[in-house]
Chain A
Amino acid sequence: MSRRYLLRHVLHAVGTLLFVLAFNFILFREIGDPVELLTHSTLHLDPSEKAALREELGIDDPLPAQFVNYVGDSLRGEFGYSFITGRPVIESVAEKIWPTILLVGTSTILSTLFGVLIGIRGAWRRGSAFDTGSLLGSLTLYSMPEGWLGMLLLILFVGILGWFPAGGIESTDRLTGFAHVLDVAKHLFLPCLTLTLGYLGEFAIIMRSSLLEVMGEDFIQTARAKGVRDKEVRRRHAVPNALLPTFTLTFYSIGFILGGAVIVEQVFSWPGLGQLTYAAIESLDYPVIQAVFLLSSAAVILFNLLADVLYGYLDPRVKEA
């Protein structure tokens, strides 16, 4: 891969990140004086203390200087203090980030995997009962709000069948080793199933149409003309070429799945960033909302960059461009 290609995409990612920072910075100034907001919610300060706080936060500095400060703080992970708990935002985020990574990570992998398998089977036997059924199923899953789907699963599997715990990440913190892993897996199952089902349809549809496109290409016909068996044509010629768009879609979809996790985490009381965000919305805890926005944007920008680089690496046609 050419260095120029890499450089261009890295620069683009940095530009996007700066835009997000600027956007966030401007919005934060729009809602009002941070000192006023802070004093409204929790603290009562006398004027001299207020002045000291203004000095500390640098609110009266010229805007460009504030922006430079703000970018520096954000890059160092200093997102300020929660209006509600008074704790540094970065602490609560650090505490909650792992459950979210676990949930979003497994859901992304599973929905890609099953979406791709369903898409391949449907496209290869286009018009079959499986194809029609899976297409209809995919569209239906795509049309469901994830939060609501989670509630349905909760009613079915917890309320009626009682197979899974209703929420949380573990039933007790005293378990260790394999028992602990099993316990967490049991709690993970339903939220993960919700997100997987919620995004599976999209992947299946993309994989299906991508494979249909490849199936019309000349090299497939050549392979068939050579006498390559149907199964081999699919495995060696068609699927590898159709996988590329789906895999990049996976990277691009991280942002959506991350967003979907906010509500799903709330439904299943999964102690992750989503739950933190939900609580922050309820109490208008702006520093937390801002930090989550910044972090998730940064994560998505990073994954987009990865997707672009991977694409350039895997598809020689892109490299030249």
Chain B
Amino acid sequence: MITTPHQPDDLTVGTEAAPPSAPSDPKKIKWLRRRRALTGFWRVYRRSGMGMVGLWLLGLFVILALAAPLLVGKEDIRVNNPPGTPFESPSLSFPLGTDDFGRSILDLVIYGSRVSLLVGFAATVMTMTVGTAVGITGGYFGGKTDTVMNAFTNWFLVIPWIPLAIVLASILGQSLFNTILVIGVTSWAGTARLVRADTLSVKERPYVERARALGASNWHLISRHILPNVMPVIFANTVLTVALSILAETTLALLGLGDPSSISWGIVIFDAFDAGALSADLWWWLIPPGVCICLVTLAFTMCGYALDEVLNPKIRER
């Protein structure tokens, strides 16, 4: 029962009996079962080499982002009174040289991890919330609601995202929040389609019918039966969405639509490009932030694929 850890609580007590020594308190049984599902999940996930590499890489970057304020002083990344002179080549005190203001590029790259990851996570939360809400509402209620929701989803799926993002970002203006908003608005549709399809199949299952016959409200059915069973699909998709969001942030930054007052990897590349790093061959300015983006995206993608394999037994068997 590794792959379906979210069986409805009231139904599975009989089929998945706790061992005789288990506590009889229903709350404790629930936690025990959850813990067992989690360890079972971990046991399968651990076998995926790709998933483990991704997870390690991810851990490293999250630690880097959290520790950035300890490694780099705030005054080192200010534009006025920077620690070095502009356009220095790599040296002992500035391992990656300095930018057009005289700030250490290594410091910028370390600090950039914070905004890049933050935007990635925040945009993902937005994408998932909107996508799940639209997908479940449409799939569960069906009829006219579904027709309208589905039409919206399909429209947003077709509109090419970069032109849409350009239009939105140029109208909204440049700020960190707008970057997150634009990524959320342009990427929820894929999630909504996925969730809707899964909702359609889950809502036909016998236990949903049983709960409805017992008089469960729509809210109860959605929150206790549909959502927990759609969760595995959302989960793997979430991890992949973070990767896409980080790439999307980079794209917006490279288009000059990022928040110029914040430091992300995308912004560092854009600044380098804007300052003519290409024609001056300042590769130490351009390459490191891009490598970071690439590694983080790769890490999330690898975790996402591994999760997909664990959560979708069909793929695993192949």
Interface residues of A, Cβ cutoff 8 Å to B = 12, 15-16, 19-20, 23-24, 27, 30-31, 139-140, 142-148, 151-152, 154-155, 159-160, 166, 212-213, 216, 255-256, 258-260, 262-263, 267, 277-278, 281-282, 284, 286, 289-290, 292-293, 296-297, 300-301, 304
Contacts and interface: CB of A to CB of B under 8 A. Distances in A.
Contact of A148 (B158, B162, B290, B298): B290
21 contacts: A15-B155, A27-B167, A27-B168, A27-B171, A139-B298, A139-B301, A142-B297, A145-B247, A145-B269, A147-B254, A151-B290, A213-B318, A255-B159, A259-B163, A263-B254, A263-B255, A277-B166, A284-B170, A293-B163, A297-B158, A300-B158
Contacts of A289: 166-167, 170
Contacts of B302: 139
Interface in B273-302: 273, 278-279, 281, 283, 286-287, 290, 293-295, 297-298, 301-302
Interface centre among B166, B168, B279 (most CB of A within 10 A): B166
Interface centre among B160, B256, B298 (most CB of A within 10 A): B160
B251 A263 contact: yes
B13 interface: no
Nearest to A148: B290
B290 A144 contact: yes
A166 B276 CA distance: 13
Contacts of B238: none
B161 interface: yes
B151 interface: yes
B160 A258 contact: yes
Contact of B160 (A12, A27, A154, A300): A300
A278 B256 contact: yes
Contacts of B192: none
A292 B165 CA distance: 12
Nearest to A284: B170
Contacts of B158: 16, 255, 297, 300-301, 304
Given A27-B167, A139-B298, A155-B286, A297 B278 contact: no
A244 B227 CA distance: 33
B201 interface: no
B234 interface: no
A79 to B, nearest CB: 13
Counting chain B residues whose Cβ lies within 8 A of the other chain, the interface size class is 35 or more
A143 B297 contact: yes
A155 B251 CA distance: 20
A267 B276 CA distance: 11
Contacts of A146: 251
B102 interface: no
A173 to B, nearest CB: 23
Contacts of B164: 293, 297
B250 interface: yes
A255 B158 CA distance: 8
B160 A148 contact: no
Contacts of A267: 273, 278
B311 interface: no
B160 A145 contact: no
The 5 closest A-B pairs by CB, nearest first: A259-B162, A255-B160, A143-B297, A148-B290, A147-B254
Contacts of A258: 160, 162-163
Interface centre among A30, A147, A159 (most CB of B within 10 A): A147
B236 interface: no
A152 B290 contact: yes
Nearest to B165: A259
Contacts of A259: 160-163, 251
B232 interface: no
A254 B73 CA distance: 45
Given A15-B151, A139-B301, A267-B278, A256 B167 contact: no
B262 interface: no
Contacts of B171: 27, 30-31, 286
B65 interface: no
Nearest to A277: B166
A80 B269 CA distance: 34
A261 B273 CA distance: 16
Nearest to B167: A293
Interface centre among A148, A159, A256 (most CB of B within 10 A): A148
Nearest to B279: A166
Given A148-B250, A148-B269, A152-B287, A282 B162 contact: no
A276 B298 CA distance: 32
B254 A145 contact: yes
B298 A143 contact: yes
A304 B156 CA distance: 13
A243 B70 CA distance: 52
B267 interface: no
B167 A145 contact: no
Given A147-B251, A258-B163, A301-B158, 18 more contacts: A30-B171, A143-B301, A145-B251, A145-B254, A147-B254, A147-B273, A148-B286, A148-B294, A255-B160, A260-B162, A262-B166, A263-B254, A277-B166, A289-B166, A289-B170, A296-B163, A297-B159, A297-B160
A262 B256 contact: no
B226 interface: no
